[in-house]
Amino acid sequence: MSALTLISDNIFDIFIILMWSMVVFVPILVGVILAVYGDRKIWAAVQKRKGPNVVGPFGLFQVPADGLKYIFKEIIIPDGADKILFIFAPILTFSLAIAAWSVIPVQAGAVLSNINVGILYIFAISSLGVYGILIAGWSSNSKYPFFGALRSAAQMVSYEVSIGFVIVTVLMCVGSLNLTDIVLAQKKIWFVIPLFPMFVVFFISALAETNRPPFDLPEAESELVAGYQTEYSAIPFVLFFFGEYANILLMCSLTTILFLGGWLPPLDITPFNMIPGFIWFLLKLIFVFYMFAMVKAFVPRYRYDQLMRLGWKVFLPVSLAAVVLTSSILFFFNLAPDLI
């Protein structure tokens, strides 16, 4: 009863919150559809194919058509599966992929919730993402999904460490955990120039974190059928697919914010700063996504031990050394940002 009155008293606020959620959700939905389309087109162009070109103008409606097909299919739950967790896993992946977007600023002030610990929030949400995969693999009660989930968990936990250290180096140059502050700190120079090695480490780690090729071992079809999503069909599969691409776009936008100056124009002169900030943000996002897609097209898949070696024996020492080096330089040349 009290819960009902709570809802009825705040019905207007709840409506506003729902509307704001839609404001975040709809662009992501459109963005994911375009990203899948772009991914397939770029991949096709590299391999001298045409890619999707039949449904709609230039094949633009191919992805929504595929989505519709999945929606009308039957949801098959394996006999020995843990039913609740089996359904819960894709929902978790999907909602986490959406939740992280609420703190991404696309323009000065254009952010759903401008929280003080924005970057930590994204880091926390993306570290939760591993649960969707782990639960999916385990609850399927099947060998290949289980192996896929274990691989994926190990991979994501390993590369999160180096992503964390890269973020720390950037944060030392900024002096704030707020994403808007991180962008504004790059007014003089984008961090990609002084911190270029960190940019490379972050980009490769982001590929591994989102299970993109060449690190798509959790779903290496030649070894594991389709990894953790082998047993999934229809809507749960769409949720996984959507979550994966939303995460890729999230990592692209995080790269943009941390290293490429977010919504800031490349030079603060007249023809450039006439263009509104979110256009710059989108352009940079598309550029980073293009790199993601190209890597998928021309890099062969890593072997699993090579992947682990790269994560722990190369990236971890490099990023750890970079943290020490950056802090030393900031300290000795008195470049550290004023905090208090």
Partner 1 sequence: MVISSKNPVHSVLFLILTFFNAAGLFVILHAEFLAMILIIVYVGAVAVLFLFVVMMLDFNFTKSKENVLQYMPFGIFIGVVFICELIIVLINTRLDLANIQILANPFLNFSDMTNTQALGSVLYTDYILYFQLSGVILLVAMIGSIVLTLRDRPGVRRQVIGEQLERNASSTVLKEVNSGEGIDI
Interface residues with partner 1 (CB under 8 A) are: 82, 85, 115-117, 120-121, 123-124, 127-128, 130-131, 134-135, 138, 146, 150, 153-154, 157, 160, 164, 177, 305-306, 309, 339-340
Rank residues 31 and 118 by Cβ distance to partner 1 and give the closer one.
Answer: 118
DSSP 148-215: HHHHHHHHHHHHHHHHHHHHHHHHHHH----HHHHHHTTSSS-TTTTTHHHHHHHHHHHHHHTT-TTS
Going by C-alpha positions, the residue among 36, 100, 26, 27 that lies closest to residue 245 is: 36
Write the CA distances from 145 to 141, 142, 240, integer angstroms.
8, 6, 14
Residue 197's Cβ-count burial label (10 Å; 0-12, 13-18, 19+) is middle
Shortest distance, CB of residue 252 to partner 1, whole angstroms? 21
Rank residues 123 and 281 by Cβ distance to partner 1 and give the closer one.
Answer: 123
Shortest distance, CB of residue 247 to partner 1, whole angstroms? 15
Handedness of CA 79, 139, 144, 289 (dihedral sign): positive
Shortest distance, CB of residue 255 to partner 1, whole angstroms? 20
Rank residues 34 and 177 by Cβ distance to partner 1 and give the closer one.
Answer: 177
Shortest distance, CB of residue 297 to partner 1, whole angstroms? 23
Rank residues 42 and 96 by Cβ distance to partner 1 and give the closer one.
Answer: 96
Shortest distance, CB of residue 145 to partner 1, whole angstroms? 12
Question: Which ranges in the chain belong to alpha helices (H)?
Answer: 2-9, 11-46, 62-71, 83-99, 118-139, 143-174, 179-184, 196-209, 221-224, 234-259, 270-273, 277-298, 304-309, 316-332
Return d(Cα 64, Cα 154) in angstroms, integer. Answer: 33
| Omega before 213 within 30 of 0, i.e. cis | no
Rank residues 85 and 286 by Cβ distance to partner 1 and give the closer one.
Answer: 85
Return d(Cα 272, Cα 277) in angstroms, integer. Answer: 10
Rank residues 288 and 310 by Cβ distance to partner 1 and give the closer one.
Answer: 310
Shortest distance, CB of residue 286 to partner 1, whole angstroms? 29
Rank residues 192 and 206 by Cβ distance to partner 1 and give the closer one.
Answer: 206
Which residues have CB under 8 Å from 268's CB, separation 6+?
A: 187
Which residues have CB under 8 Å from 301's CB, separation 6+?
A: 213, 214, 215, 216, 217, 220
Shortest distance, CB of residue 152 to partner 1, whole angstroms? 11
Shortest distance, CB of residue 120 to partner 1, whole angstroms? 4
Rank residues 187 and 309 by Cβ distance to partner 1 and give the closer one.
Answer: 309
Handedness of CA 165, 184, 196, 281 (dihedral sign): positive
